[in-house]
Structure 1
Amino acid sequence: MKLDPLSLRLFVRVVEEGTIAAVAEREHIAAPAVSKRLRELEELFGTALLVRTNKGITPTAAGMNLSVLSRDVLDDLRNIVLQMKVFSDGLRGSVRVLVNISAVSTCMPPLVKSFVERYPEVNVSLLERDSLAITESVAANVAEIGVFTRLPHSADIEVHPFRSDELKVLVPVDHPLSTRKRVTFAETLNYEHVVLRAGTHLRHQMLNAASQAGKPLRAKVEVSSYDALCKMVQVGMGIGILPAGNAEIYRLPGTRMLKLDEPWAVRELVICVRRADALSPAARLFFDHLRASP
């Protein structure tokens, strides 16, 4: 049985793109040649792998299984090349990391700095994404490593402990709650909030908690960063809920930080990868660097 890595790569690309024409243009291979390789794969395995219609191409159950197995094989082959390359020109490479809004402004900058100082030939691409999008992107091999707030997900990934954080309530000093040391979330719903944009895990948590409390979340202002959230609280546009690490960085004069007296206020940041043993050498170094951090 002969399996050609090029045929497997073209098959995976066709499953991703949905058309042979798009794959042919992307891979600079004639469309008939791509079709021929797909037919040869179906003949080799003795089963239909793709369903072809005038709307495009979709994988059969067997085809979907082959696409998953093929990605693993192609990852392993690419990993062999990368690992052998280390011997020829020293350690160099790149790693793509997705992090959520909480981590990107607190723990990640010093960790990236210390890593790059130790491995100056490795380029780290750090991009901010929502937690759920991070799990899906790492599962789809869009990025090698993700750092997100632990939440229910269906992605086929490995999840490793990283560090914990706690949500706090930030209020203006002249706010009715400013004399308190701790408040429940239900008590905060009596006042207007400054909230993060829709789609973030924290926003989703707050909406669920408001629904359980039987009160609406009065979102006075919506922002896209914790920096902006703190500034809005400072000028009296409402109160804000944010991780303690972010609150310490961005907290401004004229505000007070209160304890959020809820079980879900304690959150866990985790690291995710598709498979730790299949990471590229550069990604493995960064992964180990994160896990070794205090």
Structure 2
Amino acid sequence: MKTVINPARVDFVTLRLFSAVVQSGSITKGAAQCHLALSAASRRLSEFEATAGAQLLERSVQGVTVTPAGHVAVQHAIRLLQGFELFGAELADFSEGYRGHVRLWANMSALTEFLPAVLWNFMELQPGIRVDIEEQLSGDIVRAVRDGLADLGVFAEGTPADGLTVLPFRDDELVLLCSKSHPMAKAKKIAFADCLEHDFVGLNRGSSLLELTSRAATDAGRPLRLRVQVRSFDAMSQMIAARLGVGVLPLAACQEVLGPRKLKAVRLTDAWAHRRLLLGYSAERPLSAAARVMVEHLRPTQESCSRSTW
């Protein structure tokens, strides 16, 4: 028979203890972090396993290791603890005079190119709404919105977004960036496949832009020769300026540094170089009044959503 956990038998002290034990690999260290006696901590963990109907930890003289069931349990425990912290933070906002709270997660392209000006304008118009902004990868953004960790998300088109209501946000043009001394700098436009004989600078694994260029290289039947991987568009442009390779970046993210860093942006002729950023929110949970106001503000006008021109 399937075990159904009774929420009344699981409290946040036990969830915090379990998470601390998993992260430290020790019941003694976890108990100390939660200011519990070792005997009380051991009893709580045993009762938690009995309630779950599964062994969550394997105990030995070297410490504890997490069972497969324990891995699932700690993921949910962390989500619940984060949710409770957000609950407290949002209630505190109202006590400080705010009329609403919106949690917005966005990918690097959106945060670098479009959101700063849009959010500044929104906060000027809506000073009573607190906005928390977090940069994440597109796939993580969708999961966060689906799980309720974020109210709204801005992510790249092509990211699976089941369970979300999705609207267009902005259009984004990708270019090949190279130093002015690079052979590619002589071209006004180029097909991505013709660049693959050169070394590339890219973002770290998991970024939607890296996945896009890697897939394009695979479709062209050639490997993507990644020489350097970094965490930001600015770091990419610095590495490219140092002639460590070429890279694919959004035009708006590199346009201001072309002159100062002696870089050249070359238009890509591939259809995928014109991509769309999307705005998403849960299709299953109603938006708060503050989040609805932000959605209306973020909806693009025809002018703002049009593709860039050179």
TM-score (norm 1): 0.66
Structure 2: any 5+ residue segments left out of the alignment? Answer: 1-5, 301-310
**Aligned pair partner of 2:269 in 253, 261, 264:** 261
Distance in 2, Cα, partners of 1:271 & 1:38: 41
Match of 2:294 in 1: 289
SS of the equivalent of 2:175 reads strand
C-alpha displacement of 1:230: 4.5
Conservation of the 8 A alpha-carbon contact between 2:21 and 2:29: no
Provide Cα deviations, 1:126-145, integer angstroms capped at 9, x if missing partner.
Answer: 4x555556667888998776
SS of the equivalent of 1:109 reads helix
Distance in 2, Cα, partners of 1:69 & 1:221: 36
C-alpha displacement of 1:184: 1.4
Letter in 1 for 2:267: K
Distance in 2, Cα, partners of 1:115 & 1:278: 21
Match of 2:248 in 1: 241
SS of the equivalent of 2:113 reads coil
Distance in 1, Cα, partners of 2:29 & 2:148: 20
SS of the equivalent of 2:32 reads helix
**Aligned pair partner of 2:233 in 226, 234, 245:** 226
C-alpha displacement of 1:248: 3.3
- Which residues in structure 2 correspond to 1:137-286 (within 5 Å)? 147-150=154-157, 160-161=166-167, 162-170=169-177, 180-190=187-197, 192-193=198-199, 195-199=201-205, 200-217=207-224, 225-227=232-234, 229-230=236-237, 239-252=246-259, 257-270=265-278, 277=285, 285=290
Conservation of the 8 A alpha-carbon contact between 2:98 and 2:128: no
C-alpha displacement of 1:74: 5.6
Identity %: 28
Conservation of the 8 A alpha-carbon contact between 1:194 and 1:238: yes
TM-score (norm 2): 0.64
**Aligned pair partner of 1:101 in 85, 103, 108:** 108
Residues matched between the structures, number:
286
Question: What is the root-mean-square deviation of aligned Cα atoms in Å?
Answer: 4.8
SS of the equivalent of 1:53 reads strand
Distance in 2, Cα, partners of 1:139 & 1:15: 28
Distance in 2, Cα, partners of 1:75 & 1:7: 13
Structure with the larger RCO, 1 or 2 (CA within 8 Å, 6+ apart):
1
**Aligned pair partner of 1:28 in 35, 40, 57:** 35
Structure 1: any 5+ residue segments left out of the alignment? Answer: none
SS of the equivalent of 2:259 reads coil
